Amino acid sequence: MQLQPGEVERFREVQPMHRNILIRVLMPSEAVVMSGIMLPLAFGQGGSARDTLLLVWFGSAIVLPLLIAFGLRLTTVVTDRRVLARFVPFSRKSIDLGAVESAEAIKYSPIADAGGWGVKFSKRFGTVLNVSGEHGVFVNYTKDGKPKKLLLGSERSGDLAEAIGVPPAS
């Protein structure tokens, strides 16, 4: 993430998707299932059909799981001016600290409260960016005069809330 000139970083956390236990279990399983389906189909064909099926197998059983496991990550940075969150390659948030009304470290249920991991939207938490675990920081802020909500998953939720430095509304 690109900091602006003179901006001072107060917190940084990078969470790769492969830390999620479901990803560590499902991606190898997906590769085995795709291999069991695609390879017999491919070798039962000849010529360009076989080549196409092998290419599909390679993409779905090898490349895709590696990209999901090692390419997806959530990077959260707090500077003296902004909260920056980037869920590569899908979402990017930048919130001025002056617009933050509250930031509270919480424990939540990713599936029940947010619909799972990744980039989500929930009525309770607004935009949700999370990779694994059940801890995060719930941020209430304003943008263009409208109240907004953001839940940032974090393995260091207490440090993240402290770095944002806004006491929860009472």
> What was the pLDDT predicted at 169?
45
Task: Kindly tell me if the per-residue pLDDT of 170 is higher than 60.
Answer: no
- Tell me the mean pLDDT in the region 112-126: 90
pTM: 0.76
- Tell me the mean pLDDT in the region 49-57: 89
Tens digits of residue pLDDT in 58-95: 888 888 888 877 778 999 999 999 999 999 888 899 99
Q: How far apart are CA 138 and CA 103, in angstroms?
A: 6
Confidence band for 11, pLDDT divided at 50, 70 and 90 = very high
Q: How far apart are CA 11 and CA 138, in angstroms?
A: 16
Phi, psi of 44 (to 5 degrees): -85, -5
Token pair 């949700």 is at which residue?
Answer: 128
Confidence band for 168, pLDDT divided at 50, 70 and 90 = very low
Which DSSP string corresponds to 68-123? HHHH-EEEEEEESSEEEEEEETTEEEEEEGGGEEEEEEEE--HHHHHSSSEEEEET
> Does residue 14 or residue 27 have the better pLDDT?
14
